[in-house]
Amino acid sequence: MVGEVLGVIKGLAAQGMTMLIVTHEMRFARDVSTRVFYMDQGEIYEDGPPSQVFDAPRRERTKAFIMRIRAWEHAIHSRDFDFHAMTDSLGMFCMRQGMSARQMYVAQLVVEELVMNLLLPAAGDLPDPDIWLRLDCSEGGGSMKLAVEYPRLGGEPLAALERDDLTGMLLRRYVTDTDIDRAGRRAELTLRTA
């Protein structure tokens, strides 16, 4: 239904109809709008053409909002977390960003390999591994960075990026750059988007 409604609205906009639309579908708002009003705390906080509001917001709360809609976050606090819910929410985020099927595949594959084959095994017997993931992307998935924090895990879980097993080979294929802070137990990975 959402897709059908958005299609009708796009058609009406293309015919020149003036409309005022309140939406949480940011990509849609950017695509069909000539002017965007960002509301915060019950008032118009910032307005302008879509390129200005989405690409170069002038006010702090607008910047924070735009950054939030371009990032996916997930925390894993238990070994028996809902893996399917995590990958579904990541897939929905990728679709909202207008990523291609390949870009979505890369994001989901890298997250799955990291979590299931590196980080959770490094948790050993810990019932609560405390893993935090954040995927930041530019609109359309032009660039993707995956930040990972794993403060309670033992060993060097991301050393597997150097291994010659399937996980290591897959990650090396889809991760173009790494910044690993072993002391702080965090990493930032740049994902291949092309």
The model's pLDDT over 59-74, given as tens digits with 9 standing for 90+, comes to 988 887 877 677 899 9
Tens-digit pLDDT profile for residues 129-174 = 999 999 988 765 678 999 999 988 877 888 877 778 898 899 989 9
pLDDT of residue 70: 76
Query: Tokens representing 123?
Result: 């948790």
User: What's domain 71-191's architecture?
Assistant: 2-Layer Sandwich (3.30)
Q: Which of 124, 37, 133 is nearest to 79 (CA)?
A: 124
User: Is the predicted pLDDT of residue 22 greater than 90, yes or no?
Assistant: no
* Residue 2 banded pLDDT, cuts 50, 70, 90: low
The four Cα atoms 16, 20, 22, 23 give a dihedral, to 10 degrees, of 10
Helix 101-112 to helix 166-174 angle (10° resolution) is 140
Residues 84-137 have pLDDT tens digits of 999 999 999 988 888 889 999 999 999 999 999 999 998 888 888 999 999 988
pLDDT at 185 over 80: yes
Q: Where are the domains of the chain?
A: 2-68, 71-191
pLDDT at 127: 83
* Interacting residues of 107 by C-beta distance below 8 A, sequence separation 6+: 90, 94, 99, 135, 141, 144, 146, 191
